A and B are shown apart, each in its own frame.
Chain A
Amino acid sequence: MIEGFTALYIFMLAAFTGYEVISRVPVILHTPLMSGSNFVHGIVLVGAMVAMGHAETGLETLIGFVGVMLAAGNAVGGYVATVRMLEMFQPKKKEG
């Protein structure tokens, strides 16, 4: 179980990690990076799957269904958009 202060510690450490990871990003990669982090929160898909999996009533199932659909859209759309953008940055041209 993750609870109380353990949760708080995880939250704090992850927040610092996020801050550090992005702080050295060149401006040219800002848009792809935003798109990439948009993809990363697509992990909400696993939560949506759990929510729908243990849905009991029709309403819960319906909301769960919409949730899973949206989450899958987030993940797949975020991935494809990011890859398309990054395809333009050919490593051979990289200098600065």
Chain B
Amino acid sequence: MEMLIEIVYFLSAVVFIFGLKQMSSPVTARQGIVWAGIAMVIASLFTFGDPAVLHNTGNLGWIVLAIVMGSAIAYVTAKRVAMTDMPQMIAIYNGMGGGAAAAIAAVELVKVAGGAPAPATTVLVLAVLGAVIGAVSFSGSAIAFAKLQGLINKTIRLPMHMMINLMMFAVALAIGGMMAFTGEIDPNMLLIFFVVTLVFGVMFTLPIGGADMPVVISLFNALTGLAVAFEGFVLQNAAMIIAGTVVGSSGTLLTQLMAKAMNRPISNVLFSSFGSSTGEAADEEIAGSMKEIQGYDAAIMMAYASKVIIVPGYGMAVAQAQHKLKELEALLEERGVTVKYAIHPVAGRMPGHMNVLLAEAGVDYDKILDLDEINPEFPTAEVALVIGANDVVNPVARSNPDSPIYGMPILDADKAQNTIVIKRGRGAGFSGIENHLFYADNTRMLYGDGQKAVAELIAGIKQL
């Protein structure tokens, strides 16, 4: 039986890697996740035959119950949640994985605390490391979820926040190291250890601005992978080691890609608490004023253009305006207008967030263009329609070296002949930085909820 389980684990590790590979192409992506899913189910079923699981048969019923409960909750929430809220759900499911890794470590460490013979030092070190990483990922992801869900709106920052964080991290490592290297675990110390790590995860995530959350979620995803791999070493489980490590490294790469798109080193995202300290740079004098436009006038501008570039942002996601946009696109194309979509790598709350939503509405792939592809086209477009995007079109990123977003590649919506900005209110963007684009001479503001504003545009065009 054990041999059989090993073979199943080996095969599922292969299938996971293969599945991830398939997920990297739109054609095979669906197939990839289904394969990985099948491998996961088979691996879990065979695990019931593991002698360690059968060791205490009284627990079998509880295991099944726990699986059913966890699965049911996750299934219902994942099925119900709106596509726009997906990023925070990924955060929460990821946090659950981190919590599970920490729980595995906790069971092993509690055993030692209860008098069981301590395993080798390397095993204890990995158990402790996995516990720290998993617990941080767990509580940190919960905060990321709360921020994206709007449960926490402010970036909270205590005096000496960095110092406190560093100290907590040091305390966690010190206690962990002591437990691992002496092999003697005091139950109270163990409790303190977990409390400190969990609080550290919260404190670590709290000061990070909502705009940076995608990077943070991606980082936690990679961390959970690593924690799973470490606990895999503890339990001598090859499937966990390989799958966890693969996720750890691919997640790290993905995190780097995202941070690179924002042109900010990862350390900046994590430690500079971007969102809260932008006051000084935003004080700069802005020439001009915001000029309002009515839906009907904006519709005429677009209807008689030859090329319109749509720049969607998080506002589009919130307003669920993607279907209306698709309708607008169809109307404009009937009139012979070329319509393209410009997607900034970090538009929305995750890379690809906008692409997913536009795909949901049925927009063709070849009309959705990346930053590098679309930027040369802005000067030839009569109208750039910015809907719910802000920081990713803010020209200060090019012009003002003092600005916190200076150097971030942006979409050159300001270089279009006319720019129409659909925006709910007059406030600054997610980062709190004033957007000079809104004050430019050729920019007109169309205030209102994204969906309603686009509906106005559609109505306007239909009247022509």
Contact = CB atoms under 8 A, between A and B. Distances in A.
Given A27-B351, A44-B228, A49 B44 contact: yes
A55 B107 contact: yes
Interface residues of B, number: 118
Interface in A37-96: 37-57, 59-61, 63-89, 91, 93-96
Given A30-B351, A81-B78, A22 B254 contact: yes
Interface in B93-118: 93-94, 96-97, 99-104, 106-108, 110-111, 114
B238 A76 contact: no
B404 interface: no
Contacts of B79: 80, 84
Given A31-B351, A36-B23, A40-B247, A73 B96 contact: yes
Contact of B17 (A21, A49, A61): A21
B20 A14 contact: no
A44 B365 CA distance: 35
B253 A23 contact: yes
Contacts of B21: 21
B53 A50 contact: yes
Contacts of B27: 91, 94
B92 to A, nearest CB: 7
B29 interface: yes
Contacts of A18: 20, 245-251, 253
A15 B56 contact: no
B235 A76 contact: no
B94 A43 contact: no
A50 B245 contact: no
A91 B148 CA distance: 31
A17 B235 contact: no
Contacts of B71: 72-73, 75-76
A33 B24 contact: yes
What class of interface size applies to chain A in its complex with B? 35 or more
B97 A70 contact: yes
A6 to B, nearest CB: 10
Q: Is the interface of A mostly helix, strand, loop or mixed?
A: helix
A86 to B, nearest CB: 5
Contacts, number: 385
Given A27-B345, A75-B40, A14 B47 contact: no
B275 interface: no
B345 A36 contact: no
Contacts of A24: 24
Nearest to B97: A74
Contact of B352 (A28, A61, A83): A28
Contacts of B185: none
Contacts of B73: 73
B312 interface: no
Given A22-B254, A37-B250, A67-B104, A94 B365 contact: yes
Given A11-B229, A48-B100, A48-B103, A33 B23 contact: yes
A57 B106 CA distance: 13
A11 B29 CA distance: 26
Contacts of A49: 44, 47-48, 50, 53, 63, 67
Contacts of A86: 23, 29-30, 33
Interface string B358-383: 01100011101010000000000000
A46 B122 CA distance: 22
A79 B65 CA distance: 20
Contacts of B235: 47, 50-51
Given A10-B242, A73-B71, A31 B16 contact: no
B242 to A, nearest CB: 5
B94 A38 contact: yes
A79 B238 CA distance: 21
A56 B463 CA distance: 74
B374 to A, nearest CB: 12
Contacts of B37: 39, 79, 83
6 contacts: A45-B44, A52-B107, A73-B93, A76-B78, A78-B97, A80-B78
Interface of A: 1-4, 7, 10-11, 14-19, 21-57, 59-61, 63-89, 91, 93-96
Given A28-B359, A54-B55, A75-B40, 10 more contacts: A14-B246, A38-B94, A41-B221, A44-B224, A46-B237, A46-B240, A49-B50, A65-B66, A78-B97, A86-B23
